[in-house]
Structure 1
Amino acid sequence: MIKRIFLVLILVFSCIVSAQSNDLIKTDGIKTELHKNNIGKITFMNGNIPLDQYKESDFLKSFELKRKSDLNIRVFMDNSVTNYLHKLNPDLTAEKLLQTGNLQFSFYIDNNFIYKENINYGCNFGSSGNKNTSTTFRVPLTSSKGEDWWAMYMWDRFKLNGGEKVLTEGTHKLKIEIRPYLKNDNNDVTTGELIAKGEIQLIIKTPRLTAKQIEIQPIATNSDWELSNFSFDKKKIEKLNNDIANYSLKEITSVVVIYDKKLLLEEYFNDANRNTLHDTRSAGKSFASTLMGIAIKDGHIKNENQTLNNFYNLKEFTNYEAKKDSVKIRDLLTMSSAFDGSDQDGDSPGNEENMYPTDNWVKFTLDLPMDNSKTNGGKWDYFTAGTILLGDIINKSVPDGLEKYADKMLFKPLNITNYQWQYTPQKVANTAGSLQMTSLDYAKYAQLYKNKGIWKGQQIIPADWIQKTLTHQIQIPERENQFYGFLFWNKTFTFNDKNYESYYCAGNGGNEFIIFNDLPLVIIITSKAYNKPYAHAQADKIVLDYILPSIIKQ
């Protein structure tokens, strides 16, 4: 009997050793009864309850999902993410595993599959979890506290890809499943076994709106605009206000419509008002183009075909080659220089996220290598750092620097007095974006282009510069029938089987200043849907489903 017990103990011990030896990294283990009793479960909680305070009585069975809520999940696993990935490919190092894989989330509503996402390898779990060693982690799906998590963007994508459509008023069962995944060199995905799953009843209530939230907002006096008496379909705009108020359209802060040079609509939402300075992010890039055109008109810069070697001794910077000398102002205005920089590629040396932490953004840009696959002026590739060079060239070329020049030559003639620049580390006005203004002042700027550069009889921007700016300078890759001018975008809206071409300034969050070619129409949309996948689609929807139908007689 003793011999048999001894053999059993040896067998059990060998199994434990064998299981441990299959792991690549020693984990933190399972240290609490709560964890031990809930291995393989996704639990839901209201807000972030610290692990050492978390109890089973905190596990939510139901939750009322509101516009601003704090639905969090805490996941209890029996191993770490790295070790799960190791099982999918035992030949890879921990570093390589975490560069090619992570977790896959699957979402179900009322037992129907809705959405699946392989989260990016760079998605981490903050202080609540280390992918090498942690066996539990917490992430928020929604937050009212200004948190900024990949999980919240994933939740937005789930809603955008069918979740919102099925989460109608009433009660719905949400189920989430988590598995590990790995990509190989051909981007083929291998998915592992189920790690954890959980479910909760979501209670959805449609907000009850007041008549005041829906009605068209009266235009107050002293707008600095002549008011329009154009007859438009008010019901379409009331529907717009309704959908913004009930959050079908999210984070919209203002909609301003100028028709035939007169103020037709001035609507504010989500705590914004006429005096709010909106952070429209990259929409501010277009001002670099404007100021370049004015500086050329005034003779401070010869023309847009001047090359960088006219302004910098490029041999003083890293990665010098003759190709850098031949970069034209035009190439930077059209996002088509040959610098090895792309904001669309997170691994690009010149990606804007690599620029911001540096102490000199001009030096960062001029130090970049050139991309052997690009020719100057050859292909469009969004490159924020290039707009910093444009701002620096203007700043060193005009009297008293860019900021004072802009105020004197552009803002004062438009009677724009309430605005706020951001600055580079060298205290130069930042032409990469985030020039904050009121919605009515953005409308003046956009209408100035519609007026071919004239404001109250004064030619502020040269007409030929407006023509060059609002021209198909270069095709935007992978966007059918969309082009780029001089730091202005181009797209065509199709409404009632008729095309309406527009040029527009655009910034993260769904901010757009839209100038129509063949309609006497300018539209300003400001929004704080920063980094949201629906941001610019929402702006298009506002134009196509509400504003154009309200104006164009059918």
Structure 2
Amino acid sequence: MRTTRLVVLIMIFAHTTFAQKQEIKAKTHNREWPSLEAKHFKVIPIKDSELRRDYELYVKLPESYSKNPDKLYPVLYFTDAIWHLEILSASTEYMLEDIILVGISWQKNSSQDLKEEVGEHVSRFRDYSMQESKKPEIQNKYQLGQANKHLDFIRNNVIKYIEGNYRADSRSRTYFGYSLGGEFGSYVLLSKPDTFDNYIIGSPSIKNEVPYLAELNTKLDSISSDEDNSLHANVFLSYGTQESEMVEPIQGLVGVLKGRRDRGLSLQKEVIEGNHQTAFPMTAVRSVAWLTTIMSHVSNHSDELPFFDTPQINKAFLNATPEDKNDGIEVGEVGIDGGDKKMIQEVAEEISDKKHGFFDSFLIYQKDKLIFESYYSRGRINQPHPQASATKAYTSLALGRAIQMGFLTMADLEKPLVSFLKELDSSRFVKGTELITLEKALTMSTGISIPDEQWEAFKKDPSQIQGQQLVQTILEHSAPITPDTQKFVYGTGPDLIMQVIEAVVPGSAEDFIKTELLDKLGITNYKWQTAPSGLPEAGWRTSMTSRNMVKWGMLTMNRGKWEGEQLVSKEFIDKALSRILLTGDDDVYGGGKDVSKQGYGFYWWSADLKVGDKTYFCRSAQGGGGQYIILIDELDLLVVVTAHDNENKTLQLMAERIIPAFL
């Protein structure tokens, strides 16, 4: 009898993927599945209000639920509940205790004939599949392709019930689906992505469904607003090493997702040892481990994980009493040690709701204490955040350290930059290269002008840009340099300063920066990339944790002193932070109506921030994407922001909301 039914099923579902066929073989039988009876799960009957289909929800609350009446809990929803609840319960018990589990059963009042023929799980083929069968006899009998209707049931009945009856956090919903349940998860992701925040899609049965998923993706973009067409989702996508038939469709789905170039999408693909059946247990375990990284502001990922592959935190971490991590930063409490707690909390909540761009962190340090610390999106307390042009400020301070140690003097800032580089052939320079002083390089006023296509040509011949040959190449190919051409132009300068550091300090610039700055500041968790020249990058491509950015700010606020030692020349920092030149207010990065008189020092920006009838002089290190180290000396205030949204208004936010909280 059982063999006969298996043969019938294989014939009926011949149009499905190999993975689904294997699952049918493993799971089909004539067993009756009674309502679940388990100590920790509550069984709740629930009806599809539109189609009058009966289901059950299997709800497990965390042990801490009754002890924390004000706490909201994330929820993990999963289909094929009776198959998955035990391993998900065990996995979360050990790795993610504070989460509500909600299993969604198969239809309870399905046709008895179909249940006897196929099994209690027969409704899954209808509910989780995206498209109808092209064979009329199969379609008439099994009504395949009703994922859209099942999704409506989950959105309109299941989620509303859970969030109406439990303290479920609507900002932290996760879906788990395997095989055909993975196909359903793919459908939800690309049709109504706001249903869940996180998607665990294991070995999805999408062998023939990628073109349809691509259509869903196109349709989704067409109905999204111009302002925000992001999926806003973290996706865990996996398959087994022995599921060779899964490789092409999975790659197809990955291509659809990556082709979106979606800044709000995080995708992690994993290949797990085993076939369709044996890969399942580890899929559950590893996906729950992945989920823990989304529920915490502390990263447990490898340092090799690219920043934009970091899952986004579902719920922002806001801390008015930062933890003392014995990292050289004293801590306090906003509202007690400074600032208006309510005002700061309101701003932080707005940042959490993405009302000010895609922030990753927001920290406040005042009067020698870190008094507020928060992380959002891809921000983590222990994960270095990519730094764009904020790196220039670090390069500036490295030169100031060389001056403090006597390898250069302040008077040297007025000397021709090439006078410090002994490997150059000055006879081949363009006219006027002697006008490029260290100060001109520090203020982006070199006068160097090289067409973009020429730069691209240099990159194709590494010999032209290695070591000091980079400077030789630049000064041979630039247009002539005159006092008139030496105007502020954001571009060449930092690489020249790094060349001078390399030339004047003992050893290498890389070792000097590490030993004389990073080590002394206690900065060990960072990345500092190497430029094509072989020297450390000078203008971008570093990564710093937000707390380490606070340290750079503290060093600067204290005019070069760190724990009693003068690390950087005070005279140099005073000049670096001054408004040496005005750059104009036509396009102030992060600015707005209350930000004016934008100026530039030694890779540090400055501006006036208007608050009421008063203005506050602000200096800042800035990086494209939204990294800031902001100093307001008059208020003894330091603010650090990391973000990955180029259209931020951070300085305007300082004027409107942050400074008033400290008046």
TM-score, length basis structure 1:
0.58
SS at match of 1:464: helix
Distance 1:254 1:61 in 2: 29
2:490 aligned to 379, 382, 392, which one? 382
Q: Is the 8 A contact 1:307 1:326 kept in 2?
A: yes
Q: Is the 8 A contact 2:577 2:619 kept in 1?
A: yes
CA deviation profile, 1:393-449 (whole Å, cap 9, x unmatched):
101221111121112222222222222101012432111222211111111111111
Asked if residue 472 in structure 1 is aligned to residue 579 in structure 2, the reply is yes
1:330 aligned to 428, 434, 439, which one? 439
Residue in 2 aligned with 1:457? 564
Distance 2:615 2:569 in 1: 28
How much does 1:299 deviate? 2.7
SS at match of 1:276: coil
SS at match of 1:472: coil
Residue in 2 aligned with 1:235? 342
Residue in 2 aligned with 1:496? 612
CA deviation profile, 1:133-177 (whole Å, cap 9, x unmatched):
xxxxxx959665589xxxxxxxxxxxxxxxxxxxxxxxxxxxxxx
How much does 1:520 deviate? 0.5
Give ranges in structure 2 of 5+ residues lacking alignment: 1-189, 194-208, 233-258, 268-312, 587-595
How much does 1:464 deviate? 0.8
How much does 1:373 deviate? 7.5
SS at match of 2:559: coil
Distance 2:210 2:576 in 1: 54
Residue in 2 aligned with 1:121? none
How much does 1:376 deviate? 7.5
Residue in 2 aligned with 1:161? none
User: Among the aligned pairs, what percent are the same residue?
Assistant: 21
Q: Give the 5 Å matches for 1:240-319.
A: 240-302=347-409, 303-312=412-421, 316=425
How much does 1:221 deviate? 2.6
Change (3 A) 1:261 1:56: closer
Q: Give the 5 Å matches for 1:379-528.
A: 379-383=487-491, 385-479=492-586, 481-528=597-644
Aligned length: 367
Residue in 1 aligned with 2:230? 68
Distance 2:504 2:607 in 1: 33
Change (3 A) 1:313 1:404: closer
Distance 1:237 1:53 in 2: 43
Give 2:626's aligned amino acid.
G
Q: Is the 8 A contact 2:449 2:479 kept in 1?
A: yes
Q: Is the 8 A contact 2:408 2:504 kept in 1?
A: yes
Asked if residue 224 in structure 1 is aligned to residue 224 in structure 2, the reply is no
CA deviation profile, 1:439-490 (whole Å, cap 9, x unmatched):
1111111111111111121111111111111112122145551211111111
Give the greater-gyration-radius structure (CA). 2
CA deviation profile, 1:273-300 (whole Å, cap 9, x unmatched):
2111011211011122111122123232
Distance 1:431 1:473 in 2: 21
Q: Is the 8 A contact 1:216 1:238 kept in 2?
A: no
Asked if residue 548 in structure 1 is aligned to residue 659 in structure 2, the reply is yes
RMSD over equivalenced CA pairs, Å: 3.7
Q: Is the 8 A contact 2:324 2:330 kept in 1?
A: no
Q: Give the 5 Å matches for 1:56-205.
A: 63=223, 68-69=230-231
Report which of the two has the higher share of helix: 2
How much does 1:371 deviate? 4.0
Change (3 A) 1:319 1:221: same
How much does 1:505 deviate? 0.6
Q: Is the 8 A contact 2:363 2:374 kept in 1?
A: yes
Distance 2:637 2:221 in 1: 51
Distance 1:429 1:61 in 2: 41
Change (3 A) 1:430 1:355: farther
Change (3 A) 1:230 1:317: same
How much does 1:63 deviate? 4.1
Q: Is the 8 A contact 1:284 1:434 kept in 2?
A: yes
